Amino acid sequence: MLLKTNAAIWFNKICATKQLTSKYFNIKINGNNRLNRNTKKKKKSVIIWQLIVHLLVVVQNNKRCTVQVLKYCRLFLFQVGAIRQRSGFRTTE
């Protein structure tokens, strides 16, 4: 999932710098004068950057969750090791 999210971030940043929009952006604004076209262009840019920020938050949350899981796994394994030492349990090799 992390690789797909990073790829989506990269793709959206490239689209934002080249001022391209994907087909799934469907923005409807009434009228076709200059002001309406500028509004539509700005709205597409804002949506792309909001999507990039959202994806960055997803990546940060994923990393944070992974760190927490690893921390709890270490704590669990430490406690299991302490219990084994107290009980005199030995593994045969």
* pLDDT tens-place string over residues 67-80: 777 787 777 777 76
Alpha carbon 3 to chain centroid distance?
A: 9
Burial 6-20 (b: 16+ CB within 10 A, else e): eebbeebeebbeeee
What pLDDT is attached to residue 87? Answer: 63
Check residue 86 and give its pLDDT.
64
Contact 73, 56 (CB under 8 A): no
DSSP letter at 30 equals: S
Position 92 confidence tier, pLDDT thresholds 50, 70, 90: low
pLDDT confidence bin for 29, thresholds 50/70/90: confident
pLDDT digits (tens, 9 = 90+) for 35-46: 888 887 788 778
This prediction's pTM? 0.56
Share of the chain above pLDDT 90, in %: 0
What's the pLDDT score for residue 48? Answer: 79
